[in-house]
Structure 1
Amino acid sequence: MTTTHDRAPETALIDVPAGLAGVAAAETRLGDVRGREGFFHYRQYSAIDLARHRSLEDVWFLLVEGELPTPAQSEAFADEVAAARVVPDEVARVLPAIAAAGAGRALLPRLRTALSLLASVEDMQPVWGTDPAFHRRDAVRIAAITPTVLAALHRLRQGLDPVPPIDGVSAAGLWLYLLSGSRADARDVEALDRYLIATVDHGFNASTFTARVAASAGSDVVSAVCGAIGTFLGPLHGGAPDRALDALDDIGSRERIGPWVRARIEAGDRIMGFGHPVYRTEDPRAAMLREMALTRGGELAEFAADVERQVLTLLAEIKPDRPLHTNVEFWAGVVMEQCGLSRDLFTPTFTVSRVIGWTANVLEQAQGTKIIRPSARYVGPPAPQPVP
């Protein structure tokens, strides 16, 4: 509906749904989420099929270059990424101070600081009016160095020295090695590789949209990524996997599942791990992660399955007009805990993959010339009024 509200016709506002739900704010070739089907894809390929059959580096190449790599291209891109993982001395010297600042354990605010320093050290330029080859270099650099910096900050917070990255391992194998300093179990690596690939990108989610807004203004790639990180920190976005496990802890035992869930639903509380702003059926990422978690087995996975069944049953009973399904966060937390990651590393692990999607979106947005600049409807007291 278009309404003027005493404005001149040329500045009339267009009312859209709250949160811009369903509004197409841009065009993209990177992928899409088809919520009613429970399907999402990276370019022309099913994201879940890619997670089962290709490496993270192959998917990364696909988003940046537009096609899956040949074996020769894959090898060359792996070499490029390996070189980009190394932290420069000017940043490495400051990481201990960044890690020690403040009492909290959260890594993502510290990552923002480190990446901002990296942008200054390497003189990263705005995407407006500069060679696209520079944007691509910066995008690969940022996505490649993020796990190295996050793991270094984590180890420094524990009083340990950072470990340098190694070659010849998968993305998940490298992430687990950077955290622990030793090679991980093959089952953990396989499960985490699939998780990382399945969470690289997911439509115009809040953090991706934030990155594209910054890029539309012509800002540098790091500024766009730091904006995305700030959005990602929200508990309704990237901060949900650990809260889903916190709910399992709060329930505690099988006999408490029904009463706990019913009380939360009737109180109108959000149950972390259920419901999604896009999917109207099961999140395909949740289905894949559930399969992996239950294949590995264990008390946590079995308890999570019991909780999931009762939550879905009670949601259907109490809110039959609003179908809610399991989302990625519920089973992501289970899988990451099975892989030995502490809960304060859940969102950083998510970031290791999603930064690839953010930077790919920044590169795509940088090809345009239109700044993203919506309007807000003023609903305060009428103006002008006399100043007292």
Structure 2
Amino acid sequence: MSINRATAPLVDVPRGLAGVVVTDTGIGDVRGTEGFYHYRQYSAVDLARTRRFEDVWHLLVHGELPDAGQSAAFAARTAALRRLPAEVRAALPAIAAAARPAGALAGMRTALSLLGAARNFRPVYDIDADRRREDTLVACAAVPTLLTALHRLGGGLAPVEPREDLSYAANYLYMLTGSDPDPRRARAIEQYLISTIDHGFNASTFTARVVASTGADVAACLVGAVGALSGPLHGGAPSRALDTLDAIGTPDRIDSWIRERVLGGDRVMGFGHAVYRTEDPRSRMLRDIARQFGGPRVEFAAEVERRVEAILAELKPGRELHTNVEFYAGVVMELCGLPREMFTPTFAAGRVVGWSANILEQAQDPKIIRPVARYVGPEPPVAVPALW
């Protein structure tokens, strides 16, 4: 439907919609000038430090933290949804082969679509709130199974079936490696997943909400979000931050390497954030987790962080640039034995819950998200030239 510009004039906004409020949300917020973000009424970092992943999942989906009985029931209910339909399992080898070398995240786009069809997901516009919620639970529970199966198949290994007796994070590590996970590593990954469940209206979350505003089914909304996450400007930084550590190599090369990049106008991966003007609280928490593991890699990362911030302060005075979540996320995931090609898929294994909460919230609003663009091409109308 066209817009009547006499009653709805064009409104200029910053590029990328920076700072533009597009809706109200009760899911959470990011207060960049304070270095604080929250899920519902709770500090996200406090939740990551003190609660299970399933508890925070319950908070985002149901609007409240569960008590002990509710926590156990929700964990059991979602664990029972981890197994894939037979038709999805049968298709995974072909999907993994076609997605190589792009990897598990690319394959998951196709697998999620197939899961939605196999589980009879219907447009959110046509179903009630309970059915929408159930569809998100089915999808979120299946995502770790899909990701780990696609990764293993891509490497010539058989998928590992999920276990219902393990937590969300521990089961993820189990399906990835085929071995019982070390509890300390499982907890570290769980804290990482909790800390990245949601983070305002980032590109993938906004994409999920745009698709949801059309009334599409949950799988379609999530596929859109995964597509946005696959872009290197959004979801590819954890492994790239480790690439920075590898490129520097030794402490004596830190200053010269960083100065060359900064003076050349290159971005130093793992530093700076679109919202935070202080230290990223997620980075602070993950740094603490990394220090609990200790070792040369952690010490080197801390020294790189210290020197990068000092050099940036010298060469870019007046700009607050600190480590973002990706810098220490890469370190922690490496310490927990995850291969680099699974860093961004692991991020998706947590963020799928945040996407789902936003899909459920958007589905309550009947207004489709439909902005306009200002036309700047050749002036119309021009006569169409004859072909001969």
TM-score by length of 1: 0.96
Aligned pairs for 1:119-268 (under 5 A) are 119-268=116-265
The correspondence for 1:67, drawn from 64, 67, 70, is: 64
**Distance (whole Å) between structure 1 residues aligned to residue 306 and residue 211 of structure 2:** 41
Contact 2:103/2:151 (8 A) holds in 1: no
How far residue 103 of structure 1 moved from its aligned partner, in angstroms, is 3.7
- Separation in 1, partners of 2:5, 2:291: 61
Structure-2 change in CA distance of 1:262 and 1:143 (3 Å): same
What CA RMSD, in Å, does the superposition of the two structures yield over aligned residues? 1.2
Distance in 2 of aligned mates of 1:288 and 1:103: 34
Letter matched to residue 94 of structure 1: A
1:18-62 residue CA offsets vs partner (Å, 9 max, x unmatched): 110111111110000000000000000000000011000000000
Cross-structure match for 1:3: none
Could you report, residue by residue, the CA deviation over 1:197-237 in whole angstroms, capped at 9, with x for unpaired residues? Answer: 10100010110000000001111111010000000011111
TM-superposed CA distance for 1:66, in Å, is 0.5
Select 1:299's aligned residue among 293, 296, 317. Answer: 296
How far did residue 331 of structure 1 move?
A: 0.4
Say if 1:70 and 1:375 are closer, same or farther in 2 by CA, change over 3 A.
same
Cα distance in 1 for partners of 2:241, 2:167 equals 27
The residue number in structure 1 matching 2:12 is: 15
Q: 1:321 aligns with which of 318, 323, 327?
A: 318
Q: Equivalences for 1:344-359 in 2 at 5 Å?
A: 344-359=341-356
Following TM superposition, by how much is the alpha carbon of 1:314 offset from its aligned partner in structure 2, in angstroms? 1.1
Task: State the alpha-carbon separation in 2 of the partners of residues 157 and 47 from structure 1.
Answer: 34
Letter in 1 for 2:375: Y
State the SS of the aligned residue for 2:358.
Answer: helix
C-alpha distance in 2 between matches for 1:333 and 1:325: 16
Cα 1:102–1:118 shift into 2, 3 Å: closer
Identity of matched residues, %: 59
Which of residues 31, 34, 39 is equivalent to 2:36?
A: 39
Task: Quote the residue 1:93 is aligned against.
Answer: 90
2-structure distance, mates of 1:72, 1:252: 50
Preserved CA contact (<8 Å) 2:104 2:148: no
Whether 1:342 and 2:339 are equivalent positions in the alignment is yes
1:77 pairs with 60, 65, 74, which one? Answer: 74
The answer as to whether partners of 2:124 and 2:218 remain within 8 angstroms in 1 is: yes
Do the aligned partners of 1:48 and 1:198 also contact (CA within 8 Å) in 2? yes
Question: CA contact under 8 A between 1:105 and 1:344: conserved in structure 2?
Answer: no
Deviations 1:332-381 (A, max 9, x none): 00000000111001011101100000011100100111111111111222
Cross-structure match for 1:108: 105
CA apart distance, 1:11:
4.1
Tell me the CA shift for residue 74 of structure 1.
Answer: 1.3
Q: Are the structure 2 counterparts of residues 45 and 102 from structure 1 closer, same or farther at C-alpha, using a change threshold of 3 Å? A: closer
Q: What is the alpha-carbon distance in structure 1 between the residues aligned to residue 254 and residue 91 of structure 2? A: 47
Match of 1:332 among 306, 323, 329: 329
TM-score (norm 2): 0.96
Write out per-residue CA displacement over residues 82-127 of structure 1, whole angstroms, 9 at most, x where no aligned residue.
1211101011111111111154142111001111011111221001
Q: Secondary structure at the match of 1:33?
A: strand
Once residues 112 and 256 of structure 1 are traced to their aligned partners in structure 2, the CA distance between those partners, rounded to angstroms, is: 40
- For 2:305, the aligned partner's letter is E
CA separation in 1, counterparts of 2:46 and 2:206?
25
Q: CA deviation at 1:8?
A: 4.3
Which structure 1 segments of 5+ residues have no match? Answer: 1-6
Deviations 1:222-265 (A, max 9, x none): 10100000000111111110000011111111111111111111
1:172-214 C-alpha deviation (Å, 9 max, x unpaired): 2111101111111122112111101101000101100000000
* Kept in 1: contact 2:44–2:194 (CA 8 A): yes
Name the SS for the 1:324 alignment partner.
coil
Which digits, 9 at most, give the CA deviation of each residue in 1:297-347, with x for residues without a partner?
Answer: 111111111111111111111111322111000000000000011100101
Could you tell me whether the CA contact under 8 Å between 2:80 and 2:164 is conserved in 1? no
Asked if 2 retains the 8 angstrom alpha-carbon contact of 1:40 and 1:46, the reply is: yes
